[in-house]
C-alpha cells in the first residue's frame, strides 16, 4: 500500500520524503514548490517509490543486512533495483543518478565504508553500494543475465530462511562469478580501510562487469550504455 500525505505549502520548501513500513510505503509532500507541476519532484517521486518498494525484498521487509556496517548491501542494492526499473522510462535521469553515485563514492570512499554510520556519512552506503551493485549488474550480464536482479535474486533465495545477508556472502558470491578476484579485494579494502586512490579503485571495481566508462583527469564518466 502506498500512503501519501501533504504537510502543506510551506514557504521556501520543496520536500518529498518518507520510508517503508510493514506492507506500506509512506510518502510525504511539503512546500510551495509543489503547488505547480515540478519535473524534479516527479522524477524523485518515481525513484523514491521504486527504491522503497525494493526494500520489500532487499531490506527491512525482506532479506536484511547482517550488521549495520553492511548497509551498503541494502541501500546500494535498492538503488540499483530502482534504477533498473526506471531505466526504460527515464534513462537520462538514471544515468545522471548513477554518475552522481560514482562521483560521491570517489569523494567519500577515502574512509572505511563500514564506519560510515559512526561518521554520520550514510550517503556512502548509497553511493558506493550503488557502484558495487553496478559492477555486479555487469558481471551478471557476462553470465547470461540481464541486470542486477539476476545477480541479487540467487542471494535472496539462498537467505530466505535466515533473512540476513552479510558482506562476506555478497562478496564471495561476486568473486565466484569472476576469474579475477582483484575487484572483490578492492571492495573489501574500501569497506574496511577506505581507499587512498578511490578513482582508480572505483574503475577497478567496475572493470569485471565491462561497465562502459572513460577517465578524464580526476573524473570517471559513465557512458549512457552503463545501464
- Give 123-162 as a DSSP string: HHHHHHHHHHHHHHHHHHHHTT--SHHHHHHHHHHHTTTT
In whole numbers, what is the pLDDT of the chain averaged over residues?
95
| Nearest residue to 108 via CA among 199, 23, 32 | 199
Does the residue 170 lie in any domain? yes
Mean pLDDT of all residues in 50-74: 94
pLDDT for 213? 95
pTM confidence score: 0.94
d(CA 118, CA 125): 12
pLDDT at 62: 87
- Residue 63 has a pLDDT of 95
Are residues 170 and 198 both part of a single domain? yes
Phi, psi of 21 (to 5 degrees): -125, 170
> What average pLDDT does range 208-213 have in this prediction?
94
Q: Going by C-beta distance under 8 Å and a sequence separation of 6 or more, which residues neighbour residue 139? A: 151, 174, 177, 178, 208, 209
In this structure, the answer to whether residues 104 and 49 fall within a common structural domain is no
59 assigned to some structural domain: no
Q: Are 77 and 54 in contact (CB under 8 A)?
A: yes
Tell me which residue range forms the domain holding 172.
64-226
- In the numeric block, which cell numbers belong to residue 71? 548497509
**pLDDT over threshold 90, residue 61:** no
> What is the percentage of the chain residues whose pLDDT exceeds 90?
89
Query: Distance (Å, rounded) from C-alpha 108 to C-alpha 93?
Result: 22
Q: Read off the C-alpha cell for 22.
A: 510493514
- Indicate whether 50 and 77 sit together in one domain: no
Q: Is the dihedral of CA 82, 84, 86, 87 positive or negative?
A: positive
Q: Is the pLDDT of residue 226 over 80?
A: yes
Q: Are 131 and 76 in contact (CB under 8 A)?
A: yes
Confidence grade of residue 48 (pLDDT, cut at 50, 70, 90): very high
Please answer whether residues 32 and 10 qualify as being in contact, where contact means their C-beta atoms are separated by less than 8 angstroms: yes
| Residues, the chain | 227
> What are 105-145's pLDDT values in tens digits?
999 999 999 999 999 999 999 999 999 999 999 999 999 99
Residue 131: inside a domain, yes or no? yes
Task: Over range 200-222, report the average pLDDT.
Answer: 94
Is pLDDT above 80 for 60? no
Do the domain assignments include residue 155?
Answer: yes
Report the domain count for the chain: 2
Residue 12 lies in a domain: yes
Amino acid at each position: 500500500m502506498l500512503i501519501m500525505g501533504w504537510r502543506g505549502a510551506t514557504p521556501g520548501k520543496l520536500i518529498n520524503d518518507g520510508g517503508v513500513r510493514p506492507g506500506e510505503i509512506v510518502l510525504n509532500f511539503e512546500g510551495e514548490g509543489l503547488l505547480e507541476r515540478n519535473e524534479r519532484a516527479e522524477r524523485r517521486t518515481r525513484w523514491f517509490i521504486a527504491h522503497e518498494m525494493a526494500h520489500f525484498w532487499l531490506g527491512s521487509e525482506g532479506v536484511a543486512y547482517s550488521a549495520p556496517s553492511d548497509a551498503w548491501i541494502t541501500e546500494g542494492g535498492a538503488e540499483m533495483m530502482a534504477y533498473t526499473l526506471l531505466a526504460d522510462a527515464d534513462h537520462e535521469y538514471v544515468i545522471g543518478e548513477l554518475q552522481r553515485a560514482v562521483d560521491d563514492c570517489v569523494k567519500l570512499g577515502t574512509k572505511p565504508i563500514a564506519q560510515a554510520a559512526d561518521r554520520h556519512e550514510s550517503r556512502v552506503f548509497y553511493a558506493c553500494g550503488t557502484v558495487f551493485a553496478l559492477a555486479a549488474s555487469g558481471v551478471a550480464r557476462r553470465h547470461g543475465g540481464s541486470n542486477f536482479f539476476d545477480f541479487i535474486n540467487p542471494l535472496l533465495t539462498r537467505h530466505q530462511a535466515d533473512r540476513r545477508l552479510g558482506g562476506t556472502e555478497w562478496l564471495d558470491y561476486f568473486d565466484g562469478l569472476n576469474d579475477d578476484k582483484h575487484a572483490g579485494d578492492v571492495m573489501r579494502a574500501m569497506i574496511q580501510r577506505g581507499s587512498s586512490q578511490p578513482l582508480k579503485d572505483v574503475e577497478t571495481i567496475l572493470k569485471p562487469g565491462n561497465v562502459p566508462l572513460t577517465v578524464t583527469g580526476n573524473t570517471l564518466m559513465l557512458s549512457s550504455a552503463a545501464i
